[in-house]
Amino acid sequence: MTYSVTKRKFDVVIVGAGGSGMRASLQLARAGLNVAVLSKVFPTRSHTVAAQGGIGASLGNMNEDNWHYHFYDTVKGGDWLGDQDAIEFMCREAPNVVYDLEHMGMPFDRNADGTIYQRPFGGHTANYGEKAVERACAAADRTGHAMLHTLYQQNVKAKTSFFVEWMALDLIRDADGDVIGVTALEMETGDVHILQAKTTLLATGGAGRIFAASTNAYINTGDGLGMAARAGIPLQDMEFWQFHPTGVAGAGVLLTEGCRGEGAILINGNGERFMERYAPTLKDLAPRDFVSRSMDQEIKEGRGCGPNKDYLLLKLDHLGAETIMKRLPSVLEIGHNFANVDITKEPIPVVPTIHYQMGGIPTNIHGQVVTQNAENKSEVVNGLYAVGECSCVSVHGANRLGTNSLLDLLVFGRAAGNHIVEFNKQSKAHKPLPADAADLPLARLARLDGASSGEYAQDVANALRASMQHHAGVFRTQAILDEGVVQIAEMRKRVEAINLKDKSKVFNTARIEALEVENLIEVAQATIISAAARHESRGAHSVAEYGDTPENPLGRNDTEWLRHTLWHKEGNRLSYKPVQMKPLTVDSIALKTRTF
């Protein structure tokens, strides 16, 4: 098959029309820049639309709160791996970006006095861990839906150009290492395009689809991470994957932590509210890694529910039908549709389910992508930015607090937008395109089109997902991780030999899926290699061998492992970089414990 490659020029190309991409594009379009936003799906179908619970900001509308508490909770919730300069920036900016949204017309729920309604959420406390606090700004349990539609409408008004059902394939880097655009496949025609830009921003969202049981949309295949890895940019902290405690058992669909924020509780097979034992202060509202591990423990020790004792129950009926219908209408629908349960009357079966990647493409607080040079020194990649779940700034450390992702999208989407506007004022001309600008994606497509034998993409993807589910789960062991490293290396050979049965051009979803699997494998390998090398338990990375001693019940090893991992595709190797540790230091009392 031959592809005619057309060329277009923009000031800025953004890959991804979720909350982060559209918050950035809004800033750029409002400043009068010529901005193109690419998306595999219609913008308002991006995964941000599925976010339920809320946006974290210390507005203090319902209880005393301030950004210092939010900062402390985020550092502690992230098990001290978050960069504190970035966390401070995010928590201080939080009220501003929420009020911005309010002024754009976001339909938040309201208190009687007209202020934005806020609910408690896991790990968010007042007065440094004393008690749970109402910090999650919510629009019922459809906060992401309301936010994404608000941002889309504002972008339409600001005249952002959207390229819908366009799949970005690869970054274009010139001989200086600068990024000067992307190549993309237009799904409707099957044609390949070069989109040249002074600045390129990746906002491709998460890659939760590397696991078999996931709360993530099917499009969450980590394309931005694959593109970065193939362009020689390392991926940071990929061993840290968050399991959400309440995915519907068997279905994977999420029941927001907002349920527990509104007062729902988890119970085991004996009818006991077991979180009281694990987290005496925050109970069911402890951070997600903590609750997920406690649930796993209950199941392992035979206190699960059902004939196989392999799930737990989330009980909501005591909240009353009126509160449920007002505050949690989607959860009510999900109960009916995915578990055949009326949550106003009976509890619903839940298990910890993969939800969020803490790692991603390394950036600074302006959203600029940073790589490491040969001397392991951090260096900005000119022309390339990343924001949202595909990036790692890193505010979530080893475990994200609920509501901090929507916040991250808004704060860093806007910050990156502002920084790019400044850059565009200085840089007038586009850099010239190298002759080989489209060679890499054309070679990838040619291989797929030329294959006449081999497995189909969906079979390889399913095998990869099953392997990751087994080898990189809630509780890991060194042996299982090491076995995973070998299996995923084998899996890469299978990905490289994928066969495409249908080779037609127009809207060929099989070709799209095959291209996505080439991104999944980069994310999976980054994850398993990084995880097998981290010989400690921290946040969501919990390894049986490194924990549970009386001196160190959590298994964290700050002397050796208080550092960020970087996985480099070239050579399949790792390097490390320090965590930004001020103002809370290793010597602070709080660092030594992580009780809730």
Ligand X SMILES: Cc1cc2nc3c(=O)[nH]c(=O)nc-3n(C[C@H](O)[C@H](O)[C@H](O)COP(=O)(O)OP(=O)(O)OC[C@H]3O[C@@H](n4cnc5c(N)ncnc54)[C@H](O)[C@@H]3O)c2cc1C
The annotation places the binding site at 16-21, 39-54, 223, 244, 256, 355, 389, 400, 405-406
Give the shortest CB-166-to-ligand X separation in angstroms: 6
Q: Which lies closer to ligand X via its Cβ, residue 193 or residue 538? A: 193
- In this structure, which amino acid lies at residue 273? R
Minimum distance between the CB of residue 41 and ligand X, rounded to whole angstroms? Answer: 5
Does 41 bind ligand X (CB under 6 A)? Our answer is yes
Residue 575 CB, nearest approach to ligand X (Å):
25
Contact pick of 12, 13, 17, 201 for ligand X (by CB under 6 A): 17
Distances in Å between the alpha carbon of 238 and those of 127, 268, 585? 32, 32, 24
CA 302 from chain center: how many Å?
32
Q: Which is nearer to ligand X, 39 or 525 (CB)?
A: 39
352 binds ligand X per the rule CB under 6 A: no
Q: Is position 356 an interface residue for ligand X (rule: CB under 6 A)?
A: yes
- Closest approach, Cβ 43 to ligand X, in A, equals 6
Residue that the structure tokens 């890659």 belong to: 207
Residue with Cβ nearer ligand X (38 or 348): 38
Known active-site residue 465: no
Q: Quick one: how far is CA 87 from the chain centroid? A: 16
Q: Tell me the one-letter amino acid at 489.
A: A
Q: Is 526 in the site for ligand X (CB under 6 A)?
A: no
Q: Which region among 161-169, 370-378, 456-464, 557-565 touches ligand X (by CB under 6 A)?
A: 161-169
Nearer to ligand X, 197 or 409 (CB): 409
Give the torsion sign (CA, 233, 236, 240, 243): negative
CA distance 181 to 170: 9
What binding mask, one character per residue, do residues 398-427 give for ligand X by CB under 6 A, x or -? ----xxxxx--x------------------
CA distance to 14, 171, 176, 386, per residue, from 381 (Å): 16, 12, 10, 11
Restricted to residues 99-118, the positions that interact with ligand X (CB under 6 A) are none
Does 168 interact with ligand X (rule: CB under 6 A)?
yes
Q: Does 361 bind ligand X (CB under 6 A)?
A: no
Chain centroid offset of residue 375 CA: 30
- The residue behind tokens 């629908």 is 333
For the chain, the straight-line distance linking the first and the last C-alpha, in angstroms and rounded, comes to 59
Site string for ligand X, 260-299 (x = CB under 6 A): ----------------------------------------
Closest separation in Å from C-beta 407 to ligand X:
6
Comparing CB distances to ligand X, the nearer of 244 and 283 is 244
C-alpha of 154 from chain center: 24
The 201-240 site mask, x for binding ligand X (CB under 6 A), equals --xxxx--------xx--xx--x-----------------
The residue among 228 and 295 lying less far from ligand X, judged by its C-beta, is 228
CA distances from 89 to 86, 268, 276, 408 (A): 5, 40, 34, 10
Query: Is 518 a residue that touches ligand X (CB under 6 A)?
Result: no
Which is the catalytic residue, given 119, 288, 293, 327?
288
Q: Give 348 or 562: the residue with its C-beta nearer to ligand X.
A: 348
- Identify the residue among 144, 261, 362, 383 touching ligand X (CB under 6 A): 144
Give the DSSP letter of residue 3: -
Binding-site residue ranges for FAD: 16-21, 39-54, 223, 389, 405-406
User: Helix, strand, or coil here: 113?
Assistant: coil
337's enclosing H/E stretch is helix 329-339
The answer to whether 206 and 220 have CB atoms below 8 angstroms apart is: yes
Binding footprint of ligand X, residue count (CB under 6 A): 45
Task: Please tell me whether residue 553 adopts helix, strand or coil conformation.
Answer: coil
What is the nearest approach in angstroms of ligand X to the Cβ of residue 430? Answer: 21
- The correct pick among 25, 52, 242, 487 for binding ligand X (CB under 6 A) is 52
- Which H, E and C letters describe 268-315, residue by residue? CCCCCCCHHHHCCCCHHHCCHHHHHHHHHHHHHCCCCECCCCCEEEEE
Contact with ligand X (CB under 6 A) among 14, 57, 126, 167 = 167
Site residues for ligand X, 364-393, by CB under 6 A, read 388-390
**Dihedral sign, Cα of residue 147, residue 150, residue 152, residue 154:** negative
459/476 Cα distance (integer angstroms)? 25
Residue 57 to residue 465: CA distance in whole angstroms: 35
How many helices (H) and strands (E) in the chain? 17, 20
Instruction: List residues near ligand X by CB under 6 A.
Output: 15-21, 38-41, 46-48, 50-54, 143-144, 166-168, 203-206, 215-216, 219-220, 223, 254, 256, 356, 388-390, 402-406, 409
Active site amino acids: 288
